[in-house]
Amino acid sequence: MKPLGREEPAGANAATPTWQLRLYIAGQTPKSIAAFANLTRLCEEHLPGRYSIEVIDLMLHPQLAAGDQIVAIPTLVRKLPEPLRRIVGDLSNTERTLVGLQLRSTPASREQGGIW
């Protein structure tokens, strides 16, 4: 995991909408490492070839926290597709993360036949 780095998946192309994700961390802590691993796994499973991840280490660049109003870490910010979404934590709760990213509807909306 490299701070301020971008991971571009193999097979990404201009014809496919790309999800732009930004993960804010604070150093190489166990939670930061877990958040990056969980995010990468979820993206490979649900967005293969359609995502980019930017990792921002606030220990190295604390001034960047203000731009996305980061108050806790790790925090994932979905920049695109809009609307902007934030998820705080190590992303280990797969269902919560998928619902938060709007990759899966909530159980209540599925029961009513709706999707996000």
Which CATH number belongs to the domain containing residue 48 in this structure? 3.40.30.10
Quickly state the pLDDT bin for 12 (edges 50, 70, 90).
very low
d(CA 82, CA 19): 9
| Any domain includes 116 | no
Q: Are strands 19-25 and 51-57 parallel, antiparallel or unpaired?
A: parallel
* Average pLDDT score over the chain: 84
Running DSSP on this structure, what letter comes out for residue 24? Answer: E
Q: Taking 70 as the threshold, does the pLDDT of residue 43 lie above it?
A: yes
d(CA 94, CA 34): 12
Measured in degrees and rounded to the nearest 5, phi and psi for residue 26 equal -135, 85
**pLDDT average, residue stretch 15-32:** 91
d(CA 75, CA 28): 14
> What pLDDT score does 99 carry?
95
> What pLDDT score does 114 carry?
43
For residue range 58-102, what is the model confidence (pLDDT) as tens digits?
999 999 999 889 999 999 999 999 999 999 999 999 999 999 999
What domain range includes position 15?
A: 5-111
Beta-bridged to residue 80, according to DSSP, are 20
> What pLDDT score does 38 carry?
98
| Any domain includes 29 | yes
Q: Taking 60 as the threshold, does the pLDDT of residue 4 lie above it?
A: no
The pTM of the whole model exceeds 0.75: yes
| Any domain includes 103 | yes
- What residue has token string 């203000």? 66
| Any domain includes 73 | yes
Instruction: Please state the domain count of the chain.
Output: 1
